[in-house]
Amino acid sequence: MWGRRSLLQALCIVVAGAQPALTAEAVGQAVVIKTEVTGQSGPIEVDTSVHRNERIKTSPSGLGQFLFRDGTKLAVGWGSSVVIDKYVFDDSQSVKKLTIRAAKGTFRWVSGSSNSSAYQILTPAGTIGVRGTAFDFYVGPDGTTAVVLLNGAARFCGPGGCRQLQQRCDCVVAKPNGNMSAARRVDPSILDTLGNPRALPFLSGNQRLAGGIGMIGGCNMASVAPERKDRTRPPPAVAPAPQRQDPPQRQAEPQKERPNKPDKPHHDRPDYDGPHHDRPQHDRPQHDRPHHDRPDRPDGHDDHHGPGNHDQNGNDQDHQGHDRDRDGDRDHNRGRSFNRNR
The beta strands (E) that lie in 1-140 are given as 26-34, 37-39, 42-43, 49-51, 55-58, 63-68, 73-76, 81-89, 95-110, 119-123, 126-139
| Interacting residues of 302 by C-beta distance below 8 A, sequence separation 6+ | 286, 287, 294, 316
CA triple 95-97-103, angle to 5 deg: 125
Residue 216's pLDDT is what? 83
Q: What is the DSSP letter of 262?
A: P
* Cα-Cα-Cα-Cα dihedral sign, residues 222, 224, 227, 230: negative
Q: What is the pLDDT along the chain (342 residues), one digit of tens a residue?
A: 445 555 555 554 444 444 444 457 899 999 999 999 999 989 999 999 999 999 999 999 999 999 999 999 999 999 999 999 988 987 777 889 999 999 999 999 999 999 998 999 999 999 999 988 999 999 999 999 999 999 999 999 999 899 999 999 999 999 999 999 999 999 999 999 999 999 999 999 999 999 889 888 779 888 554 544 444 555 666 666 666 666 666 655 555 555 555 555 544 444 444 444 444 444 444 444 444 444 444 444 444 444 444 444 444 444 444 444 454 455 545 544 444 444
Residue 177's pLDDT is what? 95
Contact assessment for residue 132 and residue 116, using Cβ atoms and an 8 Å cutoff: yes
CA triple 245-247-253, angle to 5 deg: 145
Could you tell me the residue ranges of all domains in the chain? 26-214
Q: Which of 317, 102, 336, 107 is nearest to 209 (CA)?
A: 107
Helix, strand or coil, per DSSP, at residue 269: coil
Residue 5's pLDDT is what? 55
Q: Find the DSSP H helices in the chain.
A: 2-22, 190-194, 201-204, 315-341
Residue 162's pLDDT is what? 96
Q: Which CATH class is domain 26-214?
A: mainly beta
Contact assessment for residue 167 and residue 149, using Cβ atoms and an 8 Å cutoff: yes
**pTM, to two decimals:** 0.61
Q: Which of 291, 295, 276, 309 is nearest to 317 (CA)?
A: 309
Helix (H) or strand (E) holding 217: none
Residue 210's pLDDT is what? 93
Residue 299's pLDDT is what? 47
Contact assessment for residue 82 and residue 100, using Cβ atoms and an 8 Å cutoff: yes
Burial (CB < 10 A; 0-12, 13-18, 19+), residue 311, is middle
